[in-house]
Amino acid sequence: MLHEVLSGRRLTKLEYEHELPKLQDRLLDAQFELRGSRARAVAMIVTGIPGAGRSEVVNELLGWLDPKFVTVYGFREPDEVERQRPPLWRYWRVMPPRGRIAILHAGWYAEFLRESVLQPNRPAATVRREIERIRSLERMLVADGVAVVKVHLHVGPELQRRRLRKLRADKTTRWRVTPEDLWLARHFGRVERALEHCLEVTGQPEVPWHLVDGTDRQHRALEVGRVLLAGLEGRMAPAAGRALPRVAARLRRAAKSVKPAPGHRGPPVAEEDYERELERLQGRLALLSRRRKFAKHSVVVAFEGMDAAGKGGAIRRITAALDARQFRVVPISAPSPEELARPYLWRFWCQLPRRGNYTIFDRSWYGRVLVERVRGLAAQADWRRAYGEINEFERQLMEHRLVVAKFWMSVSPEEQLARFEERDRNPLKRFKVDPEDWTNRKLWAAYGRAARDMLALTNTRHAPWQVIPADDKRHARLLVLRRLCERLESVID
């Protein structure tokens, strides 16, 4: 049991006063260096058994650091806004930028620990999935420059009872002991077993747990401060590139397994037929979006494709069928400084829709394995690991009843050139073509390889790709609407 391995060490006043100034100086120096270099962000998770002193420790840390660059978050039961998004959404929203520190009371462990205590006999598959979600999140954060520092404060049952009695006996501190704290104290053995299991299965080399004895306030504070110092100084960095050989083999197989999409066969869609079918499909989509069952879901639509492939035109035909209050179109371009300071998926997590709504991405998180790969904007290790991270992201959306619809608009190089030239001739469309588009065109073969790998490695049952032949704009727009309707019907019917 956890309390049986605690040292019970206590510091004398002299020892504490000798060590504290040195630690404070080092913490402030490390924080100043972090602010200047912006080498990483620090996300500190602090868990603790009631009575172990979690709040006191956090308050002491704030007194040792420059509080302007530290934010503390506490999380209660999810509110209505949070329940409409996947469980990790509220933690992604508060992810600190590089150069800053966030201290999260329990963080993404709050729900896992609560359910582990209250429902110890949950299905093993459910528990494994929650563990996998946490481990994947932390690996990704570390790889994207977030030092994840995890501290658990613990005391034995006798000391816990004495501390809680003392707090309750004083009118000025009685409020700090909640009914939940008292229940957890009465079930100390069950709580400790759940905590022990959590620490065992979620500790990883890159993000280990630090068990801190909460018996002595001074010893506890110094130990937690030293752990935070290691995170600030980057002494928890992962080994880079360990999974690259396995990913490389998957990429080689992917190149052989995916063939380019055939173009639209047959004559171009006549305007009269197009208008009639467009109206029918838009009506179908509108009715689907107004069903009672649809209100229990939300939709994320991602468009990818070469420049001038018709993404914008297809998006406009979708939005024309929807209530303007029901959707949001998010155009994705080069990340802003604020976005670059956080993990690359942060800006997409923050845009997830509430129930009964759409978010439509004109380009998406797949930029990591497309433009960033081809143009050398992401290191090879980063874009190679992104396939698994993207699949995990989309799986979490699906598990929370978000329908993921992904469209690759496949245009031929000849048709793209014709569209570029037509835009250049039209003063109203000339702004759509810039030097970057011509540069990307020169890299057509590299983009083709990247797209084949993407389609092969991220085409999953919960988020399948739809490859749309896009040389005929009318055919492509109708096919997008048809496939989107079919995707919604497969989920809500």
Q: Express each pLDDT in 439-458 by its tens digit.
A: 888 999 999 999 999 999 99
At residue 425 the predicted structure's pLDDT band, cuts being 50, 70 and 90, is confident
Distances (CA, A) of 407 to 176, 410, 444, 488: 52, 9, 19, 14
Rounded Cα distance between 407 and 255, Å, is 19
Give DSSP secondary structure letters for 119-157: -TT--HHHHHHHHHHHHHHHHHHHHTTEEEEEEEEE--H
Residue 407 has pLDDT above 70, yes or no: yes
Tell me how long the chain is: 493
What strands lie across the sheet with 101-105, from one edge to the other?
70-73, 101-105, 41-48, 146-154, 209-213
With H, G, I as helix, E, B as strand and everything else as coil, classify residue 270: coil
pTM: 0.92
The arithmetic mean of pLDDT across residues 133-159, rounded, is 96
- Distance between CA atoms of residues 379 and 369, nearest Å: 10
Contact 19, 81 (CB under 8 A): no
CB-CB neighbours of 328 under 10 Å? 14
Q: Is the pLDDT at 192 greater than 80, yes or no? A: yes
**Closest of 58, 62, 60 to residue 70, by C-alpha:** 62
Residue 242: predicted pLDDT: 46
Residue 492 pLDDT: 85
Q: How far apart are CA 329 and CA 320, in angstroms?
A: 12
In whole angstroms, what is the distance from residue 22 CA to residue 31 CA? 14
Please tell me the predicted confidence (pLDDT) of residue 243: 47
* Mean pLDDT (whole number) for 349-375: 97
When pLDDT is cut at 50, 70 and 90, the band that residue 250 belongs to is low
Q: Confidence class of residue 245 from pLDDT cuts 50, 70 and 90? A: low
Each residue's pLDDT tens digit, 24-69: 999 999 999 999 999 999 999 999 999 999 999 999 999 999 999 9
**Which domains are present in the chain?**
2-232 (3.40.50.300), 244-492 (3.40.50.300)
Tens of pLDDT, residue by residue over 268-298, are: 899 999 999 999 999 999 999 999 999 999 9
Give the DSSP H or E segment for 420: helix 413-425
The tokens describing 33, both together, are: 């260096």
Is residue 323 scored above 70 in pLDDT?
Answer: yes
CA 413 to chain centre: 35
Collapsing DSSP states into helix, strand and coil, what is residue 311? Answer: helix
Q: Per-residue pLDDT tens for 154-178?
A: 999 999 999 999 999 999 999 999 9
Give the residue among 362, 358, 364, 302 at the shortest CA–CA distance from 328. Answer: 358
